[in-house]
Amino acid sequence: MRNNKAAGQKIKTKLPLERTEKSEFPKGLKGVTFCNNCGVAYYKKSWHHSLHGYKSLSEDVEIKFSLCPACKMIKNNQFEGEVRVKNIPEDEVQGVIKLIEGYGRRAYDDDPLDRVISIKRMPRGTGREDVIVTTTENQLARKMAKKIKDAFNKVKVTYSFSKAPSDVIYVNVEFLI
């Protein structure tokens, strides 16, 4: 038998925020904050490449300088996504690297916090090579792996996630022989 006391009443539930949600999306800071390193600007609760076109800015707005979340991650040697492209044939390596660089550039153009941190080439010595890519966003790593799979034939993709409360994703993209 059910207890009908709560019938018709709203039950308030408040889920706890993820570990990084407060740091990535703080309550709207007043004024404009510019990144000391890359120059992106925080205004109206988000990061922008430039403030060109914002007509609501006035001359008396408070201006601050600090590092953006992406530059903080890079400075602290942190990442949210790692893509390991393994067993790349020698004639495909340049194509894979150009695809990664282009995809990273387009992601950065869309969102100034989506960045490719590094691209490392690891020769295997058998006419094959591995490439390790680190990114500031886990979704960027996932989408990049999908793009590599769509662009090249005979590629296998596997995902693994770090334990909570971390939100790092490790993606293995392996070229099949």
- pTM value is 0.78
Look at residue 11 and tell me if it is in a domain: no
Q: Are residues 131 and 53 in the same domain?
A: no
Q: Are residues 130 and 161 in the same domain?
A: yes
Q: Is the CA virtual torsion 124, 127, 128, 131 positive or negative?
A: positive
Q: Are residues 85 and 62 in the same domain?
A: no
pLDDT at 158 over 80: yes
16/19 Cα distance (integer angstroms): 9
Q: Are residues 40 and 120 in the same domain?
A: no
pLDDT at 87 over 50: yes
CB 131 within 8 A of CB 88: yes
Check whether the bond before 165 is cis (ω within 30° of 0): yes
Q: How many domains, the chain? A: 2
Distances, alpha carbon 56 to alpha carbons 30, 36, 43, 52, in Å = 13, 23, 11, 11
Q: Which domain holds residue 37?
A: 21-68
145/171 Cα distance (integer angstroms): 7
pLDDT at 26 over 60: no
Give the closest residue to 147 by CA, choosing from 130, 168, 123, 171.
Answer: 171
pLDDT at 119 over 50: yes
Per the model's pLDDT, the better-predicted residue between 11 and 75 turns out to be 75
Look at residue 12 and tell me if it is in a domain: no
Q: What is the predicted pLDDT for the residue at 156?
A: 95
Provide Rg for the chain, Cα atoms.
Answer: 21
Give the closest residue to 20 by CA, choosing from 141, 166, 163.
Answer: 166
pLDDT tens digit string along 51-62? 776 666 666 678
Q: Are residues 107 and 32 in the same domain?
A: no
Q: What is the predicted pLDDT for the residue at 1?
A: 46
Chain mean position to CA 92: 25
Q: What is the predicted pLDDT for the residue at 93?
A: 93
**What CATH number is attached to the domain comprising 119?**
3.30.70
Which residues fall within 8 angstroms of residue 57, CB to CB, at 6 or more apart?
32, 43, 51
CB 88 within 8 A of CB 128: yes
Stretch 43-52: mean pLDDT, rounded? 85
Q: Are residues 35 and 88 in the same domain?
A: no
Stretch 102-118: mean pLDDT, rounded? 96
